[in-house]
Amino acid sequence: MASKQFFHSLLILTGLCLSGDRAVAQSAVFRQSLIWTRFYVKAPVGLRGVFHSEYDNRIFLSPALRQHQFITHQHYHYVHNPAMESWIGASYSVVSAQKPENQVQLNVPEWRLWQAFSYKQALFNGSVQHRLRWEERFIHQNNGTNLTPGYRLVFRLRYGAGIQWPVSKHLDLKMGDEVMVQFGEGVSQAFDQNRLWAGLDYSFGKPDLHLELLYMWLWQQGSANTFYDRDILRLTLSQVIQGAQKAAFPE
- Domain CATH for 39: 2.40.160.40
First to last CA, the chain: 25
Residue 175: alpha-carbon gap to chain centroid: 13
pLDDT at 248 over 50: yes
pLDDT per position as a tens digit, 167-202:
999 999 999 999 999 999 989 889 999 999 999 999
Q: In the chain, pLDDT over 70 holds for what percent of residues? A: 86
Domain that includes residue 132, residue range? 32-222+230-240
User: Around Cβ 60, how many Cβ atoms within 10 Å?
Assistant: 22
Residue 106 lies in a domain: yes
Residue 25 lies in a domain: no
Least confident of 9-18, 62-71, 106-115: 9-18
Please tell me the predicted confidence (pLDDT) of residue 224: 72
Confidence of residue 242 (pLDDT cuts 50, 70, 90): confident
Residue 205 lies in a domain: yes
Residue 14 lies in a domain: no
Q: Say how many domains are in the chain.
A: 1
Please tell me the predicted confidence (pLDDT) of residue 41: 96
Confidence of residue 43 (pLDDT cuts 50, 70, 90): very high
Residue 12 lies in a domain: no
Among left, alpha and beta (phi > 0; psi -120 to 50; other), residue 170 is alpha
Please tell me the predicted confidence (pLDDT) of residue 238: 95
Please tell me the predicted confidence (pLDDT) of residue 177: 98
Pairwise CA distance, residues 183 & 88, whole Å:
21
Residue 102 lies in a domain: yes
Please tell me the predicted confidence (pLDDT) of residue 223: 77
Residue 50 lies in a domain: yes
pLDDT per position as a tens digit, 108-158:
999 999 999 999 999 989 999 999 999 999 999 999 899 999 999 999 999
Residue 83 lies in a domain: yes
pLDDT at 228 over 50: yes
Beta bridge pairs of residue 123: 126
